[in-house]
Structure 1
């Protein structure tokens, strides 16, 4: 079957040893210290801790990723650092020659294209999914995303509209990957295609993080406060409400609060980066679209990359539960609830 997933999702990540990563860090970025691998979907990531305790992440990008896409991520982080220096996101560490990345080709017979190697500051903490859920944390996350999108407002880049399968506003592209027997997902996809996607031309579009899942959100060890948002690998120019919808989608499967839990994020986001009424009424269906993407894409990829199955499927079960919960709510009822929540949030 011809798929729309792209080479960076269909092909395995580049082979990189810890010794090779250490050599890259020292020779090109002047970094020396203990080094250990980190998980990743497309890239090879390594945590480097210098003797003085300062910690960095060395990222060896997938050889199928373009130079423009790599530059987009670094440029966006530089934009955020300038617009909101206190926002808890990674900071770019430039190479010794002043560039934001270096090119390196792994010494493997089947790797011919070079990989782009970058270094970002390490954001400490524990992933949101490992701590008890709370309205406080959901509100803080909504606020961080509101600040982030405000910082990215007006930012553009030649690769801003790149071809990203995780773009919920283009969810119909994965229609051929849906199991013919999965009537639930098929019905949800048809609804979004018919009732929501045509309306997105009337909402604002801008650069968004697009992947505030609980593995990319860091809290302090006690789980009291949000301390960071990581992984800008899926940044893209997309409908503005897709940002908070993506984050809120992961809340539907947490506990029994359902849509109420999502409202904590949406209200806090709205305070800092207000949504129009039209934008607010697309949030729920964009949540559904994100859940469809998770269920379909992760299932497809896990079959083709069994060695990375656990990481790929880390959100699969929760997404299925969330989708079931979303489909039990009438769309008009959900939209009315969201609009009412936003009216009382400012």
Structure 2
């Protein structure tokens, strides 16, 4: 039986209410557990309390998380795996504590992790051709194929799209078409990043890949879902050609990580489904957190516009996707 919406929310940590830790407590824990000191800079994050530690020798990314310990252990294990299996990929390195452990409990149900800090500018803020970054995404997916594990339940997994209840007409159409055309159990499955976006990719001064960030949603699911997420984040309703950037990314991806034609044909629908998923979850979060409602709804409204434009041209987009493969 598939989990319901409430179960998915809890499993994803979206209903947790956690009081922020004061910076003095975090610095104290860093000194005791990692032998680190310096100046903490708090940065915005969806779930974790995230800081940059400006130490004497380097900068570090510090995360205090309320997620289940097994989920944090999975994220750490994935980064360790990539360090061994694909050292050419710039992902954060895990810094163990003085006792050799990677995770340390610092408050009730909350764990501290320290990662290397990767400098660079988000791809979202740079004008760059998408194809090379699609190749890197394909390379990352190939490297993750060797990881065993990653079975977890997340609201952000497209397998659970039907758990989202809505009265929105467009969303109802997309959910119905998804239900009729997509059979998640028949799709190629492995561990994937599950949140590939221009905000989670860093670019260096010369336009080279400088970092792949945020493995917080990593899990085992359909490979084509992961690719669709990346494409959905490149759709731009204001662009002269809605699908030009996503198809460029796809072209690069397929050079290193093939996808069978039957699954490729689903990509436009899956990309639109991801936009609808994000808009519906954002709307739920806006109702739950009135203080951030205006900010959240502004992002959701953009997703609705883009989803509507994408859904209107699904057939033509599917033909263009298949042309990329040929």
TM-score, length-scaled by structure 2: 0.91
CA RMSD of aligned residues (A): 2.1
SS in 2 for 1:60: strand
Cα distance in 2, alignment partners of residues 31 and 289 from structure 1: 44
Contact 1:13 1:42 (C-alpha < 8 Å) held by counterparts: no
Task: Tell me, yes or no, if structure 1 residue 161 matches structure 2 residue 161.
Answer: no
1:222-267 deviation per Cα after TM superposition (whole angstroms, max 9, x unaligned)? 7x33321111000010101112210110111262321121111111
Of residues 50, 53, 56, the one that matches 1:51 is: 56
Cα distance in 1, alignment partners of residues 148 and 72 from structure 2: 14
Query: Which residue in 2 is equivalent to 1:190?
Result: 176
Change (3 A) 1:315 1:230: farther
Change (3 A) 1:29 1:314: farther
Cα distance in 1, alignment partners of residues 297 and 114 from structure 2: 27
Cα distance in 1, alignment partners of residues 46 and 65 from structure 2: 10
Q: CA deviation at 1:307?
A: 4.4
Q: CA deviation at 1:322?
A: 2.0
Contact 1:245 1:287 (C-alpha < 8 Å) held by counterparts: yes
Task: Tell me, yes or no, if structure 1 residue 152 matches structure 2 residue 141.
Answer: no
Segment drifting more, 234-243 vs 283-292: 283-292
- Spell out structure 1 runs of 4+ moving beyond 6 A: none
1:189-229 deviation per Cα after TM superposition (whole angstroms, max 9, x unaligned)? 11111112x2x33321000000012321222357x333211
Q: CA deviation at 1:140?
A: 2.4
Paired residues in the alignment total 320
Query: Which residue in 1 is equivalent to 2:82?
Result: 80
Query: Which residue in 2 is equivalent to 1:131?
Result: 126
Of residues 280, 285, 302, the one that matches 1:318 is: 302
Contact 2:269 2:314 (C-alpha < 8 Å) held by counterparts: no
Of residues 37, 41, 47, the one that matches 1:42 is: 47
Q: Gaps spanning 5+ residues in structure 2: where?
A: none
Contact 1:253 1:321 (C-alpha < 8 Å) held by counterparts: no
Q: CA deviation at 1:305?
A: 2.5
Cα distance in 1, alignment partners of residues 304 and 275 from structure 2: 7
SS in 1 for 2:90: coil
Cα distance in 1, alignment partners of residues 26 and 309 from structure 2: 43
TM-score, length-scaled by structure 1: 0.86
Cα distance in 2, alignment partners of residues 123 and 307 from structure 1: 32
1:61-117 deviation per Cα after TM superposition (whole angstroms, max 9, x unaligned)? 12xx22211110000011111011120111111111111100121xxxxxxx42111
Query: Which residue in 2 is equivalent to 1:110?
Result: none
Q: Gaps spanning 5+ residues in structure 1: where?
A: 106-112
Cα distance in 1, alignment partners of residues 78 and 296 from structure 2: 26
Of residues 328, 337, 343, the one that matches 2:320 is: 337
